[in-house]
Structure 1
Amino acid sequence: MILTGLLLGAALGYVLQRSRFCVTGAFRDLYMARSSRYFVPFLLAIAIQAIGVAALTGIGVIAPEPASFAPLAVVGGGFLFGIGIVMAGGCATGTYYRAGEGLLGSWVALIFYALFAAVMKYGPLAGFNDAARARTVGDTTIQETLGVSVWVPVVVFSAIVAVLVVRQIRINARHRTAKLPARRTGLGRYLADVVWNPWAGGVLLGLIAIIAWPLSTAAGRNGGLGITTPSAKIVTFLTTGDVTLVDWSVMLVLGILVGSFIAAKASGEFRWRVPDASTMLRSGGGGVAMGIGASLAGGCTIGNSLVETSLFSYQGWVSFLAIMLGTWGAAWIFLVRPQKAAAASRPAPVLTPAA
């Protein structure tokens, strides 16, 4: 049954590569460009999953267990993770699918991300990580605090997202861009030539997130999509040979690499790309921050910002905000400030008197 993880991961990798869907870009663009072009589709993915998970739970197919809430670890870890994904040039899933495209900088970020997630979860810093995550508060979910059914936050959130979707569609209609001609016709055109719009990415991400729950449950793992823990398990397996670590979630993340590689090859976008030394160093540092931050926060932009938010857990939503703030802070340090410095250093134009 764990092979279903590989198949679903391949589908996820294919969708991410063709839609260019990355939460880092969604958060960054919201700050730098005041654009919600990817942010609202990401909220739509959360809403779709929330409805699906609540329905599957109601009929007894799955039994989700929201994460306990450790405020200091979640806020600090989420903020650090947000900084890391800007340095690395992509969130956890974004790093995986870009590695599948042949970006060596993403491979560096991915290796350090998985390595330091393993250090935090199974290695010398496991004690520190466990102690930080043990400082929890009472309630774990919004519905638990309010004493209501999970359907209450699901309906309210879905209604808010529906309003934002309508608004975003109207904005997109006013800013249509020209599309390049496709090389193929028919189904191949849509599968390989045309870059899928963010709505396709958001809807498919939400549906894949729903499917992950029963498939993972059938394989003996109670959970949905996850990236950080399985990445740490891969490193630990490679160093210890413990085959019990190779579960459904490990197959999922390996599948992302496979799916994105297939999509990149089919579209002609795969090629090995070697960044300069400074970019490689920053990618490695970003990977370190991602691994440590995601371990402390209990998840990444998938495990927390997509999955735990759909359960309306405090860990999910607080981490969501902390990651976003970390992304904005890093965007200012690494992107906005250098741009302003470069603009300030340019000589002023010389004005010549009119003849």
Structure 2
Amino acid sequence: MILGAYIFMTTPYTQLILYGLGLALGFTLFHARFGFTSAFRRLMSVGNVEGIQAHMVMLAVASTLFAIIFATGYTLTGATPSGNISPIGTSLIFGSFIFGIGMQLGGGCASGTLYHVGSGQSPTVITLIGFIAGSVIGAYHWGFWMNDTPSLGSFSLAESTNLGYFGAWMVQIALLAIIYWITVQFAKRRKPPIMKALPTERGWKRILRGSWPLVTAAIVLAVLNAGTLFVKGSPWGITSGFALWGSKIASLLGMDVASWTYWSGDKAEALHSSVFQDSTSVMNFGIILGAFIASASGGLFKPKRFKKGVALASLVGGIMMGYGARLAFGCNIGAYFSGIASFSLHGWIWGIMALLGTFAALFIRPLFGLSNPHKNDHFC
């Protein structure tokens, strides 16, 4: 309440709306334990497709809503909506690959880290610290990756072709449907272990205290992402906020952050303004608090001790994610979720490379004492 009041009194009204959307995102992510990290790991280790199927539903709903907003050009403030469309090059491929490894070591992706911190999962506090540090290093190296490595430029299925948004939507929905059908056939043949049902309440109490079905959460997340696009004119993102927080800290410590290529142009103003003026940061704060409210209301906010190996993995994983997200123009949210929903080819490439990174991480995780799913598991 206090943070919301401060945002209301010191920032434009849209920031308060975005803060509310962040609260709803954190609340939803926690109640469904909606994962990108776990979905990728279960797929690559034992062939469980439930999480990936939820992703396809989420992307289909988001693509539909995004297409309407882009085609009409209408947003709350009147600003022209713009998608997360980024170049395809060495930085994207390398960044998304190491992000895939990092999220399997850190115990969560970008959204997972925030909602885990909010729900009291202690190791992810270390992941978040590493995430911020890695983001700063990535921002420092930004000029090299953008100027001195190969890039093919960006490609939009809607704008780089003659399809337009309706045609691009039809193609993308067909592709998502094909992937969903393939996962169904794969599950029938391989019969992978299924996810264990989470404890829940009945009736209306399930909304506040119980666990939500993955598909329900997928639809809600898609609607909230579209709501973000409608309010601020650009989709949901997370990790640019980490780069901002870390760069401000580095600046306070005497580093000449303003001279970095990353903080030139449009980004320069954010470096010298309050974090509450930054819409991504405001939403990130909302996600953490939303997850805290959800976990506390269900009596599940219980920070625990953790092993040294887990702490080290969390730190290393966080740094890899932070660095990888800067290079790859975003994380599982900004690049994968919002990128694909924006009809950008880079979002699909991000997802493929993060899956490959996840596969590589299956061989690295045991070095830190972390276990991988097995075919006889019945897991959450």
- TM tier, smaller: 0.7 to 0.9
Instruction: Tell me which amino acid in the other structure corresponds to 1:125.
Output: H
1:195 counterpart (205, 211, 229): 211
Instruction: Tell me which amino acid in the other structure corresponds to 1:151.
Output: F
Look up the match of 1:116.
134
Query: Within the alignment, does 1:226 sit opposite 2:242 as a pair?
Result: no
Query: Within the alignment, does 1:53 sit opposite 2:66 as a pair?
Result: yes
Deviation at 1:269, TM superposition (A): 1.2
Query: Within the alignment, does 1:243 sit opposite 2:260 as a pair?
Result: no
Q: Is the 8 A contact 1:105 1:275 kept in 2?
A: yes
1:148 counterpart (163, 173, 178): 163
Look up the match of 2:8.
none
Shift of the 189–339 alpha-carbon distance from structure 1 to 2, 3 Å rule, reads closer
**For 1:181 and 1:95, how far apart are their aligned partners in 2?**
22
Look up the match of 1:78.
96
Q: Is the 8 A contact 1:26 1:38 kept in 2?
A: yes
**For 2:199 and 2:42, how far apart are their aligned partners in 1?**
27
Q: RMSD value over aligned CA atoms? A: 3.0
TM-score, normalized by length of structure 1? 0.84
Query: Within the alignment, does 1:13 sit opposite 2:26 as a pair?
Result: yes
**For 2:28 and 2:167, how far apart are their aligned partners in 1?**
30
Instruction: Tell me which amino acid in the other structure corresponds to 1:80.
Output: I
Deviation at 1:164, TM superposition (A): 5.7
Matches within 5 A, 1:254-273: 254-273=285-304
Deviation at 1:136, TM superposition (A): 3.0
Q: Which has the larger radius of gyration?
A: 1
Instruction: Tell me which amino acid in the other structure corresponds to 2:242.
Output: S
Q: Is the 8 A contact 1:3 1:248 kept in 2?
A: no
**For 2:346 and 2:175, how far apart are their aligned partners in 1?**
21
Deviations 1:135-167, CA, capped at 9 Å, x for gaps: 432452234454322322321322343466578
Instruction: Tell me which amino acid in the other structure corresponds to 2:53.
Output: V
Q: Is the 8 A contact 2:85 2:154 kept in 1?
A: no
Q: Is the 8 A contact 1:11 1:256 kept in 2?
A: yes
Query: Within the alignment, does 1:275 sit opposite 2:306 as a pair?
Result: yes
Look up the match of 1:318.
349
Q: Is the 8 A contact 2:206 2:212 kept in 1?
A: no
**For 2:309 and 2:351, how far apart are their aligned partners in 1?**
29
Matches within 5 A, 1:291-310: 291-310=322-341
Q: Is the 8 A contact 2:84 2:338 kept in 1?
A: no
Shift of the 166–187 alpha-carbon distance from structure 1 to 2, 3 Å rule, reads farther
Shift of the 125–340 alpha-carbon distance from structure 1 to 2, 3 Å rule, reads closer
Q: Is the 8 A contact 1:103 1:274 kept in 2?
A: no
Matches within 5 A, 1:124-143: 124-131=140-147, 135-143=150-158
Structure 2 residues without counterparts, runs of 5 or longer: 1-13, 75-79, 253-271, 375-380
SS of structure 2 residue aligned to 1:103? coil
Shift of the 80–243 alpha-carbon distance from structure 1 to 2, 3 Å rule, reads same
SS of structure 1 residue aligned to 2:164? coil
SS of structure 2 residue aligned to 1:137? strand
Shift of the 165–130 alpha-carbon distance from structure 1 to 2, 3 Å rule, reads closer
Shift of the 144–215 alpha-carbon distance from structure 1 to 2, 3 Å rule, reads closer
Runs of 4+ displaced beyond 6 Å? 166-172, 174-178, 336-341
Shift of the 240–166 alpha-carbon distance from structure 1 to 2, 3 Å rule, reads same
Q: Is the 8 A contact 2:98 2:321 kept in 1?
A: yes
Deviates more, 1:135-144 or 1:304-313: 135-144
**For 2:368 and 2:138, how far apart are their aligned partners in 1?**
32
Deviation at 1:189, TM superposition (A): 3.2
2:229 counterpart (203, 208, 213): 213
SS of structure 1 residue aligned to 2:85? coil
Deviations 1:226-285, CA, capped at 9 Å, x for gaps: 011012212334555733443111100111100000011111111111211111011000
Shift of the 238–216 alpha-carbon distance from structure 1 to 2, 3 Å rule, reads farther
Look up the match of 1:89.
107
Q: Is the 8 A contact 1:88 1:286 kept in 2?
A: yes
Instruction: Tell me which amino acid in the other structure corresponds to 2:357.
Output: G
Look up the match of 1:346.
none
Shift of the 280–332 alpha-carbon distance from structure 1 to 2, 3 Å rule, reads same
1:328 counterpart (336, 359, 371): 359
**For 2:342 and 2:206, how far apart are their aligned partners in 1?**
37
Instruction: Tell me which amino acid in the other structure corresponds to 1:73.
Output: S
Percent of residue pairs bearing the same amino acid type: 26
Instruction: Tell me which amino acid in the other structure corresponds to 2:219.
Output: V
Look up the match of 1:351.
none
SS of structure 2 residue aligned to 1:225? coil
